[in-house]
Amino acid sequence: MAKERRSLNGKVVAITGGARGIGKVTATALVRKGCRVAIGDLDLALTEQTAAELGGGTIAVSLDVTDRSSFVSFLDEAERQLGPLDVIVNNAGIMPITAFDAEADDSIRRQLDINVYGVLVGMQLALKRMRPRGSGHIVNIASSAGKVAVPNIATYCATKHAVVGCSEAVRAELRGSGVEVSCVMPVPVNTALAHGLAYQRGVKLVEPEDVANEIVDALEVPRFDVYVPRSLKASVVLSSLMPRRAREAFGRFMGVDKVMTEADLGARRDYEERAAHSKADAGSEAEPAAAQRDAV
């Protein structure tokens, strides 16, 4: 029997990295559902512009996801203007491409700060608000790279595996609490983060709208595993049942090993430079700050 869909009308939603990309498109979809949305980003001017475009009372707040006090201020302001927090979407993230043994220490630290610490802090702060009320929904944007190994983004894979694993553990802790957790695992999404990737037979782009639609669906009919596209789940499950050598051969057959190793770094130059020069304690995909907005 199909589960009854929950109404999102009037729900208060906070979205990190919300000025553009997946965050902006998700905010758009939720505003259309009647949600009251707060978007946070390092680039306040762009965030304010995005909020004005979205309408529906959307508010813009400066946010550095790697600074706990900044995150507290973001959620405080969201609740002050919109009401008690119902949903948080931890979306901010960056993805530099490099061979692991050539990766700079700054790149490793920046990804850990933004992709992992920023998500964990967002979860903790949201739970302090949601758990006493016995309701709420945490949405963490991970990646298909949180389920598989992809050469040339080893650190990124590590961060997304961390997000998947932490989301699983927190979900178990929250059993019976009334607070839901969803972990979103898309293939590469058509944002700046995916520029120049070498797409293979088993790796296709999805649009930010595809991710946003699945997030909305997971809020209306709660579920933990949110694969984008949904057909990805079959590949992940099938691969997990294979012996290692067969699993690795299957990955090569699907071209997973070539997506990053054969990426067009020239086409990625602008993104890579902006990500590299984003603050190590900030991480937006920078103008100078914007990679916090694109998480895949």
Residues assigned a catalytic role? 156
Cβ atoms of residues 91 and 74 within 8 Å? no
* Cα–Cα dist 17/47, whole Å: 9
Estimate the crossing angle of helix 44-54 against helix 21-32, to 10 degrees.
Answer: 30
CA 25/CA 234 separation, integer angstroms: 26
Alpha helices in 4-117 (DSSP H): 21-32, 44-54, 68-82, 105-111
Cα Rg for the chain, rounded, in angstroms? 18
**Rounded CA gap, 159 and 93, in Å?**
10
**Rounded Cα–Cα distance for residues 70 and 64 (Å):** 6
Can you list the positions of beta strands (E) in 98-162? 136-141
Phi first, then psi: what are they for 205, rounded to 5°? -70, 145
Task: Quote the tokens at residue 76.
Answer: 């405080």
- 257 burial (CB, 10 Å; 0-12 / 13-18 / 19+) is middle
